[in-house]
Amino acid sequence: MAEAAMKAITISEYGGPEVAVLREDVPVPRPGPDEVLVQVACAGINFMDVHTRQGKYRDSRTYLVRAPCTLGMEGAGQVMEVGSAVTHLEPGDRVAWCIAWGAYAEYAAVPARLAARIPDGIGYDQAAASMFQGCTAHYLLNDVAQLRSGDTCLVHAASGSIGQILVQMAHRAGITVFATASAPQRLELALQRGADHAFLYDGEGFARKVREATRDRGVDVVFDSVGKATLRGSMNATRVKGLVINYGNVSGSVRDLDPMELGEAGSLLLTRPRLADHMRDAATVQRRADAIFGALLDGTLEIPIASRHTLETVQQVHAQIEGRGQVGKAIVELARA
Ligand SMILES: NC(=O)c1ccc[n+]([C@@H]2O[C@H](COP(=O)([O-])OP(=O)(O)OC[C@H]3O[C@@H](n4cnc5c(N)ncnc54)[C@H](OP(=O)(O)O)[C@@H]3O)[C@@H](O)[C@H]2O)c1
């Protein structure tokens, strides 16, 4: 099997959706000593795939993915082979993973420490739709924000994939949730997910509304995945000595921030965390995955699959995500292992 060829979506240069090319002659990868070879059943389609394709990680020290490569950094499937140093997984195991590239393909070699076992009752489609954003929301809420019942937070892009999960988890933990989105139906979705208040961005006008609703105190923590368009408003919406978590930059990176602005806004803390630093060993990965899969199984978390695709239609989904036309999670369906 190792010499066999497979279908995969690859890039040989950075650029628009058109550089993501479907090839049928990509060699099936061989697992290294610390890897497992997985027959991919489903892959998640994420904004991070768009960023990878655009070359945003070309100089990253956290994410070593570089063109040429196979796209896709989230998937689920069956373990076919294990590397010589892998002791906690075996052929036949059902696993899901993220932040390991190569998932838009029939087979992927995945670092074993990033592959979490999937419990009975969770299908490959649900696992591939949940692993990346679920683990992200889990570490942001529990490890970075460390909010408690009775605290307050603002979740930007609350109808986005991570936004929806953050809103549900925070609401369930007894945290008052303020939400933003770009359209009334997206606000409605955030309210359905458990947000207590929801506002259109209105430029940075959301900050004034948050201040009004909190009697000028501001929220304890802001989860900001939008970046350039919202970050200063986020600072204005945060209480004195509160925390702004800039975990994404879908509107562009903030490149002109003077630390003095954090002082002026009320001695704020600002952090730019990365999932990779919160998924460093197999036990942590499995713990986060168990929390997400457990919540899906007991019905306290919903991660709907908004659209299902094949390798042939990935380019269109990328264009849709970039054009702000995608609401919720898209997946690619491959083998039904
Ligand atoms: N730091 C980390 O550890 C980490 C981990 C995972 C992902 N991320 C990042 O988190 C971000 C969100 O990920 P996601 O999976 O939730 O994405 P998603 O499902 O595609 O949602 C993105 C949301 O951003 C909003 N948005 C605001 N301005 C936008 C713009 N100019 N273009 C496109 N969308 C815009 C959209 O909602 P509205 O139209 O309502 O504004 C959209 O729903 C991405 O940047 C991703 O790379 C970071």
3-state secondary structure 23-65: EEEEECCCCCCCEEEEEEEEEEECHHHHHHHHCCCCCCCCCCC
Q: Residue 83 burial (CB < 10 Å; 0-12/13-18/19+)?
A: middle
Give the residue whose CA is nearest to atom 33 of ligand 1. Answer: 324
Position 337 scores a pLDDT of 42
- Going from the Cα of 156 to the center of ligand 1, the distance in angstroms, rounded, reads 9
Upper half-sphere CA count for residue 191 (Cβ side, 13 Å)? 10
CB atoms within 10 A of CB 102: 24
Give the residue whose CA is nearest to atom 37 of ligand 1. Answer: 157
Give the residue whose CA is nearest to atom 23 of ligand 1. Answer: 160
Of all atoms in ligand 1, which is nearest to the CA of residue 186? 40
Position 336 scores a pLDDT of 54
Upper half-sphere CA count for residue 143 (Cβ side, 13 Å)? 16
Position 325 scores a pLDDT of 83
Give the residue whose CA is nearest to atom 11 of ligand 1. Answer: 248
Give the residue whose CA is nearest to atom 2 of ligand 1. Answer: 274
Strands 94-98 and 116-117: what pairing? antiparallel
Position 271 scores a pLDDT of 98
Position 42 scores a pLDDT of 98
The pick from 162, 186, 231 for probing ligand 1's pocket by mutation, whose C-beta has the most ligand atoms within 8 angstroms, reads 162
Ligand 1 contacts (CB < 6 A) are: 46-48, 51, 133, 136, 157, 159-163, 181-182, 186, 225-226, 247-251, 273-275, 321, 324, 326
Q: Which phi and psi (to 5°) does residue 49 adopt?
A: -70, -40
Measure the CA–CA gap between 122 and 337, rounded to whole angstroms: 14
pLDDT 10s digit of each residue in the chain, 337 long?
A: 457 999 999 999 999 999 999 999 999 999 999 999 999 999 999 999 999 999 999 999 989 999 999 999 999 999 999 999 999 999 999 999 999 999 999 999 999 999 999 999 999 999 999 999 999 999 999 999 999 999 999 999 999 889 999 999 999 999 999 999 999 999 999 999 999 999 999 998 999 999 999 999 999 999 999 999 999 999 999 999 999 999 999 899 899 999 999 999 999 999 999 999 999 999 999 999 999 999 999 999 999 999 999 999 999 999 999 888 887 899 999 965 4
The first and second tokens of residue 280, run together, are 């460093």
Where are any strands of DSSP class E within the chain?
5-11, 21-27, 35-45, 69-70, 74-82, 94-98, 107-111, 116-117, 152-155, 176-181, 197-200, 219-224, 238-246, 269-271, 305-309, 329-333
- Going from the Cα of 91 to the center of ligand 1, the distance in angstroms, rounded, reads 35
